[in-house]
C-alpha cells in the first residue's frame, strides 16, 4: 500500500501522538503535518516577504488588575473596563481587518459555502470585534442599572370590595 504522505510509515506508531495515530488510521494528515508542509512550501515566499516572528507586544495586565482590586463603585469598574477596551481595540481591529483580507484573498469568499475556510475567517474577523462590543454592552448595562434604572412599576390598585 502506497501512502500519500512523504514521512509516514504504516504501523509505525512509536513516538507518535494520539493525533498522529488517529490521522494515520484515517489516512489523513495531522495539523502539525499540514503546518510543516506548508512552511516548507512557503520558504521562498517568506524569504522575499519577511514577516515578524516575535509575538506582538503583550498587554501589561498589572495596572488593570490593581485598579480592579481597588475599585469600590460601578463607575470605577467601568473606568477599568473602558480603559482596557480602548487599549486593545486598535490591535483587535487590525487583527479583524487582516483576517478579513485573508478571507477575501483572490475573491474566494464570494461563492464560498457557509462552512468554507473563507466564511470561517470572515466569522473569526467579526467575532474579534464582537467580543469587545459585548464587553462594552455589559459595562453599559451595569452603568444603566446604577445611573438610569428602569422605573418601578406602579403599585397595584386596591381592588373594590365585592360583596
- pLDDT tens, residue by residue, 85-107: 999 999 999 999 999 999 999 88
The closest alpha carbon to 132, from 91, 77, 72, 79, belongs to: 91
CA–CA separation, 160 vs 163, rounded Å? 9
Reported as a pLDDT band with limits 50, 70 and 90, residue 1 is very low
Distances (CA, A) of 44 to 32, 53, 61, 122: 20, 16, 38, 28
pLDDT of residue 8: 55
Reported as a pLDDT band with limits 50, 70 and 90, residue 153 is confident
Domain boundaries, the chain: 18-48, 62-147
Compare 11 and 117 and report the one with higher pLDDT: 117
- pLDDT tens, residue by residue, 45-75: 999 999 888 888 899 999 999 999 999 999 9
pLDDT of residue 103: 94
Cβ–Cβ < 8 Å for 121, 98:
no
Phi and psi dihedrals of 49, rounded to 5? -130, 75
- pLDDT tens, residue by residue, 124-146: 999 999 999 999 999 999 999 99
What angle (nearest 5°) sits at the alpha carbon of residue 138, between those of residues 134 and 144? 140
Query: Has residue 82 got a pLDDT over 50?
Result: yes
Q: Please state which of the ranges 13-17, 59-63, 145-149 shows the lowest mean pLDDT.
A: 13-17
Phi and psi dihedrals of 87, rounded to 5? -70, -40
Amino acid at each position: 500500500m502506497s501512502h500519500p504522505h512523504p514521512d509516514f510509515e504504516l504501523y509505525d506508531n512509536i513516538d507518535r501522538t494520539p493525533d498522529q495515530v488517529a490521522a494515520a488510521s484515517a489516512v489523513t494528515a495531522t495539523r502539525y503535518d499540514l503546518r510543516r508542509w506548508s512552511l516548507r512550501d512557503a520558504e521562498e515566499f517568506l524569504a522575499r516577504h519577511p514577516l515578524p516572528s516575535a509575538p506582538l507586544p503583550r498587554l501589561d495586565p498589572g495596572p488593570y488588575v490593581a485598579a480592579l482590586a481597588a475599585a469600590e463603585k460601578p463607575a470605577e469598574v467601568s473606568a477599568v473596563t473602558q480603559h482596557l477596551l480602548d487599549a486593545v481595540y486598535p490591535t483587535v481591529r487590525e487583527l479583524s481587518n487582516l483576517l478579513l483580507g485573508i478571507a477575501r484573498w483572490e475573491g474566494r469568499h464570494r461563492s464560498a459555502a457557509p462552512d468554507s475556510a473563507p466564511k470561517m475567517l470572515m466569522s473569526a474577523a467579526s467575532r474579534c470585534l464582537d467580543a469587545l462590543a459585548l464587553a462594552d454592552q455589559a459595562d453599559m448595562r451595569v452603568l444603566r442599572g446604577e445611573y438610569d434604572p428602569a422605573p418601578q412599576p406602579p403599585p397595584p390598585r386596591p381592588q373594590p370590595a365585592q360583596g
